[in-house]
Amino acid sequence: MSEGQKFQLGTIGALSLSVVSSVSIVICNKALISTLGFTFATTLTSWHLLVTFCSLHVALWMKMFEHKPFDPRAVMGFGILNGISIGLLNLSLGFNSVGFYQMTKLAIIPCTVLLETLFFRKKFSRKIQFSLTILLLGVGIATVTDLQLNMLGSVLSLLAVITTCVAQIMTNTIQKKFKVSSTQLLYQSCPYQAITLFVIGPFLDGLLTNQNVFAFKYTSQVVFFIVLSCMISVSVNFSTFLVIGKTSPVTYQVLGHLKTCLVLAFGYVLLKDPFNWRNILGIMVAVIGMVVYSYFCSVETQQKASEASTQLPQMKEGEKDPLIAAENGSGVLSDGGGGVGVQKTTAPVWNSNKDFQA
């Protein structure tokens, strides 16, 4: 099996793991929140991250991956930013209608595209932009019901979108810049995310629910679902970093909207949630958008691979003659070059990913 086939297989595995684990945790958390009344979302997320860190620490002790320390300031800034973005998303849901919150999540894709274009000089073809438009239209039809606006909710949503986009771009950029795996990055950033949410979680949850998480009555059923949710979250957090590292922040958001459609469908089939023609039409349009996006991404990836394979023999021929290599400026590449032939990695890393709603 070639390296390209192994990479494709790993990407498919990461995407599948992300979908299965995210849909599972949404169903588990829905039972925990709606049925059992445990509405402390931010605090629960901090427990998720704490359990994830402990699981990775055990995996490190068992030598399942190698610890690779790198820039501590980048890790700390990244971890804190991730924690803040989760808190802001939960606040956005608390201070806005469900419809406006769904619009907030839809805005993450165009915002990510804009930031990557402006700061990383990444180019998105018209075909990719078209497929993303179809996807967003479909998800909007399926999920957005009402758009009640208020100033505080709008500001919180704007901050949530910006911090989420930056955090997810950093997830991809840090892995490439420092050459760390998704597991290594998750292991080092988890404590900062967990501490951030553990500190602000009880305050945010109290503000949104008017209840105290520490005064809640923890029955055996509640404890069981909390433990189950924390166990599933290990897979959710790991697959999030894995998908963004192997693909891109935009692809991860596309995958997130696929999860939304699946949750709607599972909710109707398993939980008998209300379903209407708008949901069905929206899911169908969104699926078409996802298929088109996947097809265009696959075509463009193959084109880039074929271009790289044709350029490689030319580079080797040039390297045989030092004079030709010098004239073409293809001498020794410095570490600051950011890799061979990858334009977007030459931009600086954000120097300072999740989401409970999955």
Closest to 47 measured CA to CA, from 64, 32, 67, 63: 32
Rounded-to-integer distance, Cα 297 and Cα 310, Å: 20
Which one is predicted more confidently, 266 or 351? 266
Cβ 173 vs Cβ 349: under 8 Å = yes
Rounded-to-integer distance, Cα 156 and Cα 208, Å: 14
**pLDDT beyond 50 at 81:** yes
pLDDT at 108: 92
Percent of the chain with pLDDT over 70: 81
**pLDDT beyond 60 at 169:** yes
pLDDT at 313: 60
2-16, 23-37, 59-73, 234-248: least confident range: 2-16
**pLDDT beyond 90 at 354:** no
pLDDT at 283: 84
Most confident of 103-107, 230-234, 258-262: 230-234
pLDDT at 356: 44
pLDDT at 226: 96
Tokens matching residue 81? 């930013």
pTM: 0.75
pLDDT in tens, 308-323: 777 656 555 554 444 3
Rounded-to-integer distance, Cα 157 and Cα 155, Å: 5
Q: What are phi and psi of 168, to 5 degrees?
A: -75, -35
Closest to 65 measured CA to CA, from 75, 51, 74, 55: 55
Closest to 250 measured CA to CA, from 151, 106, 80, 97: 106
Residue with structure tokens 């438009």? Answer: 133
Which one is predicted more confidently, 263 or 252? 252
**Mean pLDDT (whole number) for 176-197:** 93
pLDDT bucket at 334, cuts 50 / 70 / 90? very low
pLDDT at 349: 37
Q: What are phi and psi of 63, to 5 degrees?
A: 60, 40
pLDDT at 312: 58
Handedness of CA 65, 70, 72, 78 (dihedral sign): negative
pLDDT at 322: 43
**CA 279 to chain CA mean position, Å:** 24
Closest to 355 measured CA to CA, from 86, 31, 106, 167: 86
pLDDT at 147: 64
Count the residues in the chain. 358
Contacting residues for 312 by C-beta, under 8 A, at least 6 apart: none
Q: What are phi and psi of 113, to 5 degrees?
A: -60, -45
pLDDT at 350: 39
* Exposure string over 224-250, b if 16+ CB within 10 A, otherwise e: ebbebbbbbbbbbbbbbbbbbbbbbbb
**pLDDT beyond 80 at 344:** no
pLDDT at 303: 83
pLDDT at 4: 65
Position 72, amino acid: P
